[in-house]
A and B are shown apart, each in its own frame.
Chain A
Amino acid sequence: MSILAQATTAAEAALTAADQKSISAAGYAGLAYGLATLGPGIGIGYLVGQSVQAMARQPEAAGMVRTTMFLGIAFTEALALIGFVVFILLKFV
């Protein structure tokens, strides 16, 4: 056991501070993206569901509802995409 522990500490000592930082950042990158998807996922699901309901109830308003739906999706999706950019920044920069 002690030999193993010594080997681990030696390996950790060989890593520079920058390496350690990038390793922990890479660990948190997935978490950041996962958390960023939760809200927009619920939001887009609710939004599209309600739009489908509106279109089914009033088919003549379908064009207007669809345009507004895409606008709403674009605004909601921005949060998930910012999470994705944070993922890229944490992981690769």
Chain B
Amino acid sequence: MIFGLEFPPIENLVEWPNLFGPTDSWYGFNKIALINLVALVGTSVLFLVAGRQKTLEPATNAPKGSRNLVESAVAFIRDGIITETIGPEGLRYLPFLASLFFFILITNIFEVIPFFHMPGNARMAGPAVLALLTWVYFIAVGIKHQGLKYFWNSVAPPGVPKALLPLVVPIELLSTFIVRPFSLAVRLFANMLAGHILLVTFTVLCITLWGASLLLAVLPFSFLMLVGLTGFEIMVAFLQAYIFTILASVYIGSSMHAEH
């Protein structure tokens, strides 16, 4: 009860009942799982359909339809992310980074899609798995390129005096192998949860004010705020996918060569 208005409990924010299956069972399937499944199947189908489309635009010889969309998106990841951070030798990691980008983008964009209105990454489990995957991936790339010396190279940057090593090694160990995956996961999770809370706050305010008599005057402002924030959240959904991918790319690039 605030100003005589009644609001639903806070637990309704991110907890969803199972669509089928009892609670706490391993096969329970709720909205988050549905969003993740849609993101997975949707991305795969989009890429398969785009790959099968062979006809070109007759006048300009450019790809058309879904292939045009997918090609420009992949070119964005290639030119905007990989060549800027790793360089041309990073192109072999394009498939991993592209699938990361598309999966995060589609799960995020469900924040503003009607009847879903829930970003799939606003529960910690999704971002945590993605960050763990990136963690395993950049360590594997490091071992592949530098052998077991990778671990020593990444915790002791060259040029550091020997006397400083006891100080530098724990800090670098912490920042490379613990803070990196933690901050990746928390960044994505907290951004999406914050956006979701913002949107829910203004939606609930709009619904609640509809029944209020005197406070009805506040309703237009609340509604305009909601419309503006929806646009803002579309931008955030894209930006978070971009930032996650670019950071994964930077981490992979830094484990390909020893710092010098």
Binding site for B on A (CB under 8 A): 63-64, 67, 70-71, 73-75, 77-78, 81-82, 84-85, 88, 92
Known A-B contacts A64-B84, A81-B186, A85-B186; the reply to A70 vs B246 at CB < 8 A is yes
> Shortest 9 CB-CB distances between A and B: which pairs?
A81-B190, A78-B183, A67-B84, A74-B243, A84-B190, A85-B190, A81-B187, A78-B187, A81-B186
Q: 11 pairs across A/B with beta carbons < 8 Å?
A: A64-B84, A67-B85, A70-B242, A70-B246, A71-B247, A74-B243, A74-B246, A81-B187, A81-B191, A82-B186, A84-B193
Known A-B contacts A78-B187, A92-B10; the reply to A84 vs B84 at CB < 8 A is no
Q: Which residues of A contact B42 (CB under 8 A)?
A: none
Main secondary structure of the interface of A (DSSP, over half): helix
**Residue B132 is within 8 A (CB to CB) of chain A in the complex:** no
Q: Nearest residue in A to B10 (C-beta to C-beta)? A: A92
Cα(A71)–Cα(B254), bound, Å? 14
Binding site for A on B (CB under 8 A): 10, 80, 84-85, 183, 186-187, 189-191, 193-194, 239, 242-243, 246-247, 250
Main secondary structure of the interface of B (DSSP, over half): helix
- Inter-chain pairs besides A67-B246, A70-B242, A78-B187, 5 sampled, C-beta below 8 Å: A64-B84, A67-B80, A67-B85, A74-B247, A77-B187
Q: Which residues of B contact A84 (CB under 8 A)?
A: 190, 193-194
Known A-B contacts A64-B84, A92-B10; the reply to A71 vs B186 at CB < 8 A is no
Q: Nearest residue in B to A92 (C-beta to C-beta)? A: B10
Cα(A74)–Cα(B246), bound, Å? 10
Cα(A92)–Cα(B187), bound, Å? 19
**Contact present for A88 and B186 (CB under 8 Å):** no
Q: Nearest residue in B to A91 (C-beta to C-beta)? A: B10
Most chain B CB inside 10 Å of its own CB: which residue of A81, A82, A88: A81
Q: Point out the residue from B189, B194, B246 that lies within 8 Å of A71, measured CB to CB.
A: B246
Q: Which residues of A contact B186 (CB under 8 A)?
A: 78, 81-82, 85
Q: Which residues of A contact B247 (CB under 8 A)?
A: 71, 74
Cα(A47)–Cα(B246), bound, Å? 18
Q: Which residues of A contact B194 (CB under 8 A)?
A: 81, 84
Q: Which residues of A contact B246 (CB under 8 A)?
A: 67, 70-71, 74
Cα(A92)–Cα(B183), bound, Å? 21
Q: Which residues of B contact A63 (CB under 8 A)?
A: 80, 84
Q: Which residues of B contact A74 (CB under 8 A)?
A: 187, 243, 246-247
Cα(A5)–Cα(B44), bound, Å? 67
Q: Nearest residue in A to B243 (C-beta to C-beta)? A: A74
Cα(A63)–Cα(B84), bound, Å? 9
Q: Point out the residue from A64, A70, A88 that lies within 8 Å of B243, measured CB to CB.
A: A70
Q: Which residues of B contact A75 (CB under 8 A)?
A: 183
Q: Which residues of A contact B187 (CB under 8 A)?
A: 74, 77-78, 81
Cα(A73)–Cα(B191), bound, Å? 13
Cα(A50)–Cα(B243), bound, Å? 20
Q: How far is the CB of A72 from chain B (nearest CB, A)?
A: 11
Q: Nearest residue in A to B247 (C-beta to C-beta)? A: A74
